[in-house]
Amino acid sequence: MNAPDRSPVFRTEGLTKVYDTGEVKVFALAGVDLELFAGEFAVLLGPSGSGKSTLLNVLGGLDSATEGHVWFRDLELTALADRGLTRFRRDHVGFVFQFYNLVPSLTARENVQLVTDVSINPMTPEEALDRVGLAHRMDHFPAEMSGGEQQRVAIARAVAKRPEVLLCDEPTGALDSKTGVQVLEVLRHVNDEMGTSTVVITHNAEIRRMAHRVIWFQDGKIVNVDVNTERVAPSEIAW
Amino acid sequence: MDALDRKLLRDFARLWAQFLAIALVLAAGVAIMLMSLGMSRSLEDTRDTYYERNRFADVFADVRSAPRSMLDAIGAIEGVTIAEARVTTRATLSIADKTGTTVAHFASLPESGELMLNVPILRSGRWPDPLSTSEVLLNEPFAEANGLRPGDGFTANINGAERELTVAGLALSPEFIYTIGPGNLVPDNEDFGIVWMPERALSGLLGRTGAFDNLAIMLRPGFRAEPVIEELDRLLEPYGSWGAHDRDTQTSHSFVEGEITQLQVLAYVLPPIFLGITVFLVNMVMGRIVKLERTEIGLLKALGYSKLTIAMHYVLLAGLVAAVGVGLGWIAGSWLSYGLARLYAQFFDFPYLVYNVSWWPYVASGLIGFAAASAGAVNAAMKAASLSPATAMQPPAPPRYERNWFDRAMVALRLSQPSMMIVRSIVRWPLRAAFSVLGMALAVSILVASNFFPDALDEIIDTAFWQSNRQHAMLYFNNAVPETALEEARRLPGVVQAEGQQYFSAILRHEHREKQTPIEARRPDADLSRVVDTDGQIINAPPDGIMLSERLAEQLGLGVGDLVEIEFLGSQQGTYEIPVTRLVTQYFGLGAYMDQETLDRMFQQAPQVSVINLTLDASQRDAFEAALSDVPMLAGSMMMDENRRSFEDTISQNVLVTTTTYLLLGALITFGVAYNGARIQLSERARELASLRILGFTRGEVAYILIGEIMLLAVVAQPLGWVLGWFFAKSMVEGFSSDLYAIPLILNPDTFASASLAVLAAAFASVLLVARRLGRLNLVSVMKTRE
């Protein structure tokens, strides 16, 4: 089990995100200072609306901050325009969502190829699918696969470009416990083998046990950070 | 207001752009229908009223000169209620301060003072005194074009005698709604007019006192013209009959009739295309809306709304689209009708306004518009009504894609993933793709079918004015004159070259078919007026038979080698059987050609001419035109460059209006199809496209998928559009062909290219409008929600 080194991949300073509806201002993020480290497996926990997803979206270049700064290594994301953020996502980030968001008109292999076609140093789609245990389902369309399989294709698609960070928003939210565990194993495997910094948002407190660090959110702020001295294997998790 | 109605209005407001794109296509169909139905009816009604009030004759006959005593026998023919005899002629006029030749058709006014048939409407001034030798009535448009008012005077050269005439009044006649001078292709009110003159004075000048040369006949209502025509021909034959005919070959009537037919053809051809596309677009958009509102439909059902209420909700949404489309169509249609009425005012001389579209074309086009939109919504509405609430609340099953031979072929082609997405989507919804292709192909075809006109006209002008008719001027005579007239013509100032031609009036018969047409007697060495076929080959009349234009031969069912029976009318009479020795393809007229020497021998006549063709020294043109009024027996003259210019001016103005209108129609269809297609794709693929953006695809790369599919369909639509366009152009050419002219089907590559470019550009612009929305795609919210 590789422990993370201490160089930060992400660093935020006073990160604030306000949704202004005209009548009320909602502080989705209210000044977050955080560092996430290379090779780290971090789990974000907290109630709905506590700011986890907003943070993930800003880190991934999907959303912009109202105030504060975010750096990806030396690159200040908060200074980038759309074109720069697109470039950043293409080169450095892999995403996994609750609803797998595969392209239904492309097979598993082709869905992965979407990424490998535009990446600088990708693995082959076959290798990526093999890593998630789907080598035998490569030529199936999404409609022909189970939810767990579809999510594993989504992970293969996310990691195929060898991203430095993998951002997962409720990756097991739509899955039953058994399939969920399979997906977690794939995430763990990617984190271990490839050293990909992984951030996972979940409502499932059990999953925290497999993280290096657990970051607790409430009302747009970090209220607590736990460091697990002992990490459990996904197979030991059940819900 | 019910909550459901409020939803209806809000949905309509939210999707206004898509609905507007559909409404515009529908509006085009409604507008064309309103204009063509309304104006054809309006034109027909105006004409019929005019004919009835002013007693337009049913049968006409021309004869060299027959005694008035014949009228009793003619009046006694079964079916004839009124027979009116007239004296007519053609003469040249001299109008103060006007250069150039002016020709007028003279017709007599009876001594009783009032005509019984073809009664002119007095527009200003008064009727001439029946006993006056100098007072005349002029047709109003001619008088206006020449600045003549009641009380003004001018000179006429009638039968070789100069006569000072005074304008007593101005009039319009149902016989001359469309007034076209000899040899002209379009009306020219400045140089060709109608003069009504008291009979005593006119017949005195023509030496026809107690005789007539023209007959107008009114039949008992519902009585057929054919037996009367036969009997007339028999009675008048001894007096040099040129043959009786019914309204169909009366020049003015046949032009007005032709216009009505064209409008009716338009009403049957174009609107169905636009309505069909409306049905398709409404079907596609409503289908998508029902899919998106699945859970809402489920909820409504769970709340207890009935199937009918839900189905009607979607039909009403289409009804709102129809309301906008029909409203816009009515506005545009009224405007088009008004424009057409103004165009008619330019060509047709009616005493009252033609623009009078009644209420029923509005009702008919409106109902059909609503029917089209409802038909498009039915499928979606039924689907909405039949969804069970439990299923409706579940998300729909994802679309299934399958591997087939086509798929394997694509994989073998190593297409990029975005390209693969485009192609698979087309294959997955083949019907939708096919209709989109068809819609855009129809847009191309409309442009091809309208764009070919300018090329066809260029060809016509080239053949008519540069290849066939190389003379600068033509002189017409009332009757054939001895060939020595050529010598006299050569002595006119500025004449370089003079050649003669003679026309014989004749009826051609073959089996049960017959056609009255002039036969042109030609000299083999003729250099100025030539017979040129559509390949540009110059052809001489054969010495051993008759040469016919293909159109005439077809009408008579004749081929080369067949014998045609020819009955000569007028000055040279007799019936002969002559072999058809050659056919020639021509754009104008129903040409029939024989060798002059052969005819001279046949009739044992000395060479004669009825038309003289001239080339002129341009520097002496004014002197030439001034000298024309002194040429005896001259019925008229024509300067070819003026004829060509007036043809080109009239045509080019109309071509510009027509091609612009059709360009707009083509663009509307393309916009309707491409914009809605792209909007629906964006809606269906929002998640996919957002996923790609998240994966790091740029906006341009994502837009490629959206634009690519529609543009691929647009490209596929081109060849189909060309074929359809060729077919439409061919039908139009056939529909517009008349005895007077045929429009050649000239389809140059640039006609296809410009039609394609216009449609591709319109499609691209429409899709770009949608692609701009990609920028507004909220990546996060799309990914957070379940489809």
Indicate the residue of B421, B780, B786 with minimum beta-carbon distance to A106: B421
Q: Which residues of B touch A98 (CB under 8 A)?
A: 784
Q: Which residues of A touch B787 (CB under 8 A)?
A: 99
Is pLDDT at A3 greater than 80 in this prediction?
no
Cα A33 to the chain's mean position, in Å?
19
Do B270 and B362 touch, CB atoms closer than 8 A? no
Q: Which residue has the higher pLDDT, B261 or B650?
A: B261
Look at B398 and A118 and tell me if their CB atoms are within 8 Å: no
A102 at B interface, C-beta within 8 A: yes
Q: Which residues of A touch B692 (CB under 8 A)?
A: 103, 114
Do B203 and B211 touch, CB atoms closer than 8 A? yes
Q: Which residues of A touch B415 (CB under 8 A)?
A: none
Q: pLDDT tens for residues B640-668?
A: 888 788 777 777 777 777 788 888 888 99
Is pLDDT at B28 greater than 90 in this prediction?
yes
Burial class (CB in 10 A: 0-12, 13-18, 19+), B642: middle
Indicate the residue of B691, B698, B779 with minimum beta-carbon distance to A103: B691
What is the pairing mode between strands B563-568 and B495-510?
A: antiparallel
Average the pLDDT over A159-173 and give the result.
90
Q: Which residues of B touch A139 (CB under 8 A)?
A: 403
ipTM: 0.73
Residue B608, strand partner residues: B482
Residues 6+ apart with CB under 8 A from B230: none
Indicate the residue of B416, B695, B780 with minimum beta-carbon distance to A57: B780
Do B163 and B74 touch, CB atoms closer than 8 A? no
Task: Please tell me the distance from the alpha carbon of residue B695 to that of residue A115, in angstroms, as a whole number.
Answer: 7
Residue B475, strand partner residues: B612, B637
Average the pLDDT over A121-138 and give the result.
90
Q: Which residues of A touch B696 (CB under 8 A)?
A: 86-91, 93, 115, 118
Residues 33-62 of A with CB under 8 A from B: 53, 57, 60, 62
Task: Please tell me the distance from the alpha carbon of residue A141 to that of residue A155, in angstroms, as a whole number.
Answer: 16
Task: Please tell me the distance from the alpha carbon of residue B289 to that of residue B316, in angstroms, as a whole number.
Answer: 13
Q: Which residues of B touch A140 (CB under 8 A)?
A: none
Helix B430-461, helix B640-694: angle, nearest 10: 160
Do B198 and B142 touch, CB atoms closer than 8 A? no
Do B592 and B546 touch, CB atoms closer than 8 A? yes
B395 at A interface, C-beta within 8 A: no
Q: pLDDT tens for residues B701-747?
A: 889 998 999 999 999 999 999 999 999 888 877 776 666 667 788 88
Is pLDDT at A51 greater than 60 in this prediction?
yes
The CA-atom distances, in angstroms, between B358 and each of B28, B344, B494 are 19, 18, 57
Look at A93 and B696 and tell me if their CB atoms are within 8 Å: yes
Average the pLDDT over A175-193 and give the result.
89
Q: Which residues of B touch A141 (CB under 8 A)?
A: 400-402
User: B147-151, B389-393, B404-408, B748-752: which has the minimum mean pLDDT?
Assistant: B389-393
B9 at A interface, C-beta within 8 A: no
B430 at A interface, C-beta within 8 A: no
Look at A99 and B693 and tell me if their CB atoms are within 8 Å: no
Looking at residue B736, what is its pLDDT?
A: 67
Is pLDDT at A1 greater than 70 in this prediction?
no
The residue in chain A having the minimum alpha-carbon distance to the alpha carbon of residue B700 is A83
Residue A25, strand partner residues: A20
Q: pLDDT tens for residues B46-59?
A: 899 999 999 999 99
Q: How far is A170 from chain B (nearest CA, A)?
A: 10
Nearest one of B133, B147, B271 to B203, comparing CA atoms: B133
Look at B417 and A105 and tell me if their CB atoms are within 8 Å: no
B428 at A interface, C-beta within 8 A: yes
Q: Which residue has the higher pLDDT, B355 or B348?
A: B348
Residues 6+ apart with CB under 8 A from B660: none
Locate all alpha helices (DSSP H) within B429-559, ordered by sequence.
430-461, 484-490, 550-556
Average the pLDDT over B622-649 and give the result.
80
Average the pLDDT over A39-56 and give the result.
92
User: A156-165, A186-195, B690-699, B729-738: which has the minimum mean pLDDT?
Assistant: B729-738
Residues 126-145 of A with CB under 8 A from B: 139, 141-144
Average the pLDDT over B449-471 and give the result.
82
Look at B699 and A82 and tell me if their CB atoms are within 8 Å: yes
3 state SS of B221? coil
Look at A105 and B696 and tell me if their CB atoms are within 8 Å: no
Looking at residue B110, what is its pLDDT?
A: 92
Task: Name the band, by pLDDT with cuts 50, 70 and 90, for residue B126.
Answer: very high
Query: What is the residue whose two structure tokens read 């091809």?
Result: B448
Residue B316 dihedral angles phi and psi, to the nearest 5°: -65, -35
Look at B695 and A95 and tell me if their CB atoms are within 8 Å: yes
Q: Which residues of A touch B776 (CB under 8 A)?
A: none
Task: Tally A–B CB contacts below 8 A.
Answer: 92
Q: Which residues of A touch B400 (CB under 8 A)?
A: 141, 143-144
Do B228 and B219 touch, CB atoms closer than 8 A? yes
The identity of residue B208, as a single letter, is: R
Indicate the residue of B421, B688, B780 with minimum beta-carbon distance to A62: B780
Q: How far is B779 from chain A (nearest CA, A)?
A: 7
Q: Which residues of A touch B424 (CB under 8 A)?
A: 105-106
Cα B321 to the chain's mean position, in Å?
32
The CA-atom distances, in angstroms, between B290 and each of A200, B385, B454, B787 are 36, 10, 47, 14
Nearest one of A93, A3, A71 to A41, comparing CA atoms: A3
Do A34 and A11 touch, CB atoms closer than 8 A? yes
Looking at residue B787, what is its pLDDT?
A: 47
Task: Please tell me the distance from the alpha carbon of residue A110 to that of residue A132, in angstroms, as a whole number.
Answer: 15
Q: pLDDT tens for residues A71-114?
A: 999 999 999 988 888 889 888 999 888 888 788 888 899 889 88
Indicate the residue of B398, B688, B779 with minimum beta-carbon distance to A62: B779
3 state SS of A173? coil
Percent of all residues in chain B with a pLDDT value above 90, rounded to a whole number = 42
Look at A102 and B787 and tell me if their CB atoms are within 8 Å: no
B693 at A interface, C-beta within 8 A: yes
User: B255-259, B552-556, B626-630, B744-748: which has the minimum mean pLDDT?
Assistant: B626-630
A105 at B interface, C-beta within 8 A: yes
Q: Average pLDDT of chain B?
A: 87
Task: Please tell me the distance from the alpha carbon of residue B31 to that of residue B37, in angstroms, as a whole number.
Answer: 10
Which among B691, B699, B776, B785 is the top mutation candidate for probing chain A, defined by the most A β-carbons within 10 Å of its own β-carbon? B691
Residues 163-182 of A with CB under 8 A from B: 169
Locate all alpha helices (DSSP H) within B695-748, ordered by sequence.
699-736
Residue A44, strand partner residues: A201, A215
Average the pLDDT over A113-137 and give the result.
88
Task: Please tell me the distance from the alpha carbon of residue B280 to that of residue B276, in angstroms, as a whole number.
Answer: 6
Burial class (CB in 10 A: 0-12, 13-18, 19+), B96: exposed
Which among A17, A53, A77, A118 is the top mutation candidate for probing chain B, defined by the most B β-carbons within 10 Å of its own β-carbon? A118
Task: Please tell me the distance from the alpha carbon of residue B131 to that of residue B111, in angstroms, as a whole number.
Answer: 7
Percent of all residues in chain A with a pLDDT value above 70, rounded to a whole number = 98
Task: Please tell me the distance from the alpha carbon of residue B730 to that of residue B743, in angstroms, as a whole number.
Answer: 10
A72 at B interface, C-beta within 8 A: no
3 state SS of B412? helix
The CA-atom distances, in angstroms, between B540 and each of B499, B525, B615 are 15, 8, 20
Q: Which residues of B touch A103 (CB under 8 A)?
A: 417, 421, 688, 691-692
Indicate the residue of B690, B694, B787 with minimum beta-carbon distance to A89: B694
Residue B169 dihedral angles phi and psi, to the nearest 5°: -160, 170
Look at B780 and A90 and tell me if their CB atoms are within 8 Å: no
What is the pairing mode between strands A93-96 and B538-539?
A: unpaired
Which among B694, B697, B774 is the top mutation candidate for probing chain A, defined by the most A β-carbons within 10 Å of its own β-carbon? B694
Is pLDDT at B444 greater than 80 in this prediction?
yes
Q: Which residues of A touch B402 (CB under 8 A)?
A: 141
- Joined together, the tokens standing for residue B212 give 């007539």
Do B205 and B163 touch, CB atoms closer than 8 A? yes
Nearest one of B641, B593, B596, B588 to B614, comparing CA atoms: B641
Average the pLDDT over A43-69 and give the result.
91
Q: How far is B394 from chain A (nearest CA, A)?
A: 15
Q: How far is B694 from chain A (nearest CA, A)?
A: 7
Residues 6+ apart with CB under 8 A from B371: none
Looking at residue B248, what is its pLDDT?
A: 86
Global pTM?
0.76
Radius of gyration from C-alpha coordinates of chain B = 34
Looking at residue B739, what is its pLDDT?
A: 65
Is the alpha carbon torsion for B66, B68, B73, B76 positive or negative? Answer: positive
Indicate the residue of A99, A104, A114 with minimum beta-carbon distance to B695: A114
Do B77 and B615 touch, CB atoms closer than 8 A? no
Q: How far is A37 from chain B (nearest CA, A)?
A: 22
The residue in chain A having the minimum alpha-carbon distance to the alpha carbon of residue B400 is A143
Looking at residue B656, what is its pLDDT?
A: 79
Do B326 and B29 touch, CB atoms closer than 8 A? no
The 10 Å CB-count burial string (b at 16+, else e) for B28-41 is bbbbbbbbbbbbbb
- Joined together, the tokens standing for residue B617 give 């020294």
3 state SS of B542? coil
Task: Please tell me the distance from the alpha carbon of residue A97 to that of residue A99, in angstroms, as a whole number.
Answer: 5
Q: pLDDT tens for residues B588-615?
A: 777 899 998 888 888 888 888 989 999 9
Look at A105 and B399 and tell me if their CB atoms are within 8 Å: yes
Residue B748 dihedral angles phi and psi, to the nearest 5°: -85, 155
